[in-house]
Amino acid sequence: MTYLKELLSYEERYDRITIELCRDKEAFIRKVYQEGKKKGFEKIANDEKVKNPEGEAVRILNFFHYFMVDMLAGERWEKRKDTIQKWMDEDEGKDLQLREARLTVEPKCEHCSKTGLRIISKDLMHKGEDYDNEEVLFSLECPFCNKRTAVWQNGTVWEHFKKLCPKCSTEFDETSKRTKRMITTNYACPKCGHTEKDILDLSFRHKEEKPDQYWEEDKKRFVLTDKQGQKYLESKRNLEDLRRLMDDIKESDDNKELYEAVANVNKVNIGQLTDVLTPTIEKAGYKELSFDKPEIGRDVYIGFSCLDGKSDRHEQVSRKILKKTVETALSDTNWRLMSDGISYRLGYLTGRLRAYEREEDLVSLIERDKNVRRKHKASKLNTSAKLRDKDGKEIIL
């Protein structure tokens, strides 16, 4: 046999699964609606604002239908080509495994122990309880006794199913007799004499399945065309954009204090740094403030230098005072002194500043400097209608 089939076979297999999955979800929603109808939509009717309880229930269930059924059909379309290709690759790999399979040792007939067996077939089978992998099982026929032996690729003989006597656990001796309508197998215990009989009725016929009258209709609804699939992707992107927008609004509302602090930051440009720092450092006894050429990349850095106007001030004291002075002057701005601090050589002091431009950087800055902590709160869905799946889990959209 060959595993790889025509493309149409895989497409039909995938579409059948899609239709059954969507039907199952739709049946669940229909069941919820029928149960609600029997109870008169009591929960919705208790809400005085709802004038038409049944109409409101239908609206809610249509909402759930979109997310449980329509979106599922879209997801199945999105994964269709890749899944079918994966199935085809797997089957092609099985065919290759069978073609290239060779016995590594000369097998012996398990009945007469002679060699020279003829290969009848090769099949992929699970060995033992390893259900994740399949190995090649060779079926061979002995030219001397005309009996068959099954061995794995490495020469290990396939272990037959052993039926044990229920009274003494001894392996049964078995004989089989076949007719056109049945196979009769007799089991006899060689130790205690217990016997059993199994009959396999070959005349049994499966009832013919009735044609699925809604198959084509449901296929049109659940198996999307490429045009419908593109619309699904567009709606999926719109939902993602809406979700991010709602998350941003919720996050901003939860962290109002933090974002107000960010809004109040004095956003100073490079040209204004001189006006911000000069008066403060001159008051502290420093002079001749100057700036290096700024380093502009993803972030902006700029070096500065000045002279200590007090010649009797000790190096360590001078560095400490200038550091505190600069940090104080910039505390309400979007600039901060770099972590390497202030350097001092013979009354000449240098340092580096970093600018915070992006909102997320300013938020981190405020969190660190102002000790304002970001709040994380999960949004809640406020609705009077709830659904549970077949396992009893509550569905929240």
Q: Give the per-residue pLDDT at 46.
A: 56
Whether 163 maps to a domain, the answer reads: yes
Whether residues 131 and 56 fall in one domain = no
Whether residues 234 and 87 fall in one domain = yes
Distance CA(68)–CA(222), nearest Å, equals: 12
Whether residues 270 and 359 fall in one domain = yes
| Total domains in the fold of the chain | 3
Distance CA(303)–CA(268), nearest Å, equals: 16
Whether residues 269 and 355 fall in one domain = yes
Whether 215 maps to a domain, the answer reads: no
Whether 31 maps to a domain, the answer reads: yes
Rounding to the nearest 10 degrees, give the CA dihedral for residues 251, 255, 261, 267: -10
Tell me the residue range of the domain where 282 lies: 264-369
Whether residues 270 and 348 fall in one domain = yes
What pLDDT digit, counting tens, does each position of 306-365 carry? 999 998 899 999 999 999 999 999 988 999 999 888 999 999 999 999 999 887 788 888
What pLDDT digit, counting tens, does each position of 174-190 carry? 887 877 778 788 899 99
Whether residues 96 and 123 fall in one domain = no
Q: Which CATH number goes with the domain that contains 296?
A: 3.30.70
Q: The pTM is what?
A: 0.59
Q: Give the per-residue pLDDT at 272.
A: 92
Q: Give the per-residue pLDDT at 239.
A: 83
Whether residues 153 and 173 fall in one domain = yes
Whether residues 155 and 244 fall in one domain = no
Whether 4 maps to a domain, the answer reads: yes
Whether residues 239 and 170 fall in one domain = no
Percent of the chain with pLDDT over 90: 50
Whether 53 maps to a domain, the answer reads: yes
Q: How many Cα neighbours within 13 Å face the side chain of 287?
A: 4
Per-residue pLDDT in tens (0 to 9) along the chain, 397 residues: 789 999 999 999 999 999 999 999 999 988 887 877 766 655 555 555 556 666 777 787 888 888 899 999 999 999 999 999 999 999 999 999 999 999 999 999 988 999 999 999 999 988 877 778 899 999 999 999 998 899 998 888 888 777 889 999 898 888 878 777 787 888 999 999 999 988 877 665 666 778 889 999 999 999 999 999 999 999 889 888 887 877 766 766 666 767 777 777 889 999 999 999 999 999 999 999 999 999 998 889 999 999 999 988 999 999 999 999 999 999 889 999 998 889 999 999 999 999 998 877 888 887 776 655 555 444 433 333 444 554 555 544 4
Whether residues 183 and 153 fall in one domain = yes
Residue length, the chain? 397
Q: Give the per-residue pLDDT at 385.
A: 42
Whether 113 maps to a domain, the answer reads: no
Whether 37 maps to a domain, the answer reads: yes
Distance CA(76)–CA(74), nearest Å, equals: 5
Nearest-CA neighbor of 119 among 100, 141, 97? 141
Q: Give the per-residue pLDDT at 397.
A: 40
Whether residues 86 and 8 fall in one domain = yes
Whether residues 44 and 7 fall in one domain = yes
Whether 78 maps to a domain, the answer reads: yes
Q: Give the per-residue pLDDT at 160.
A: 73
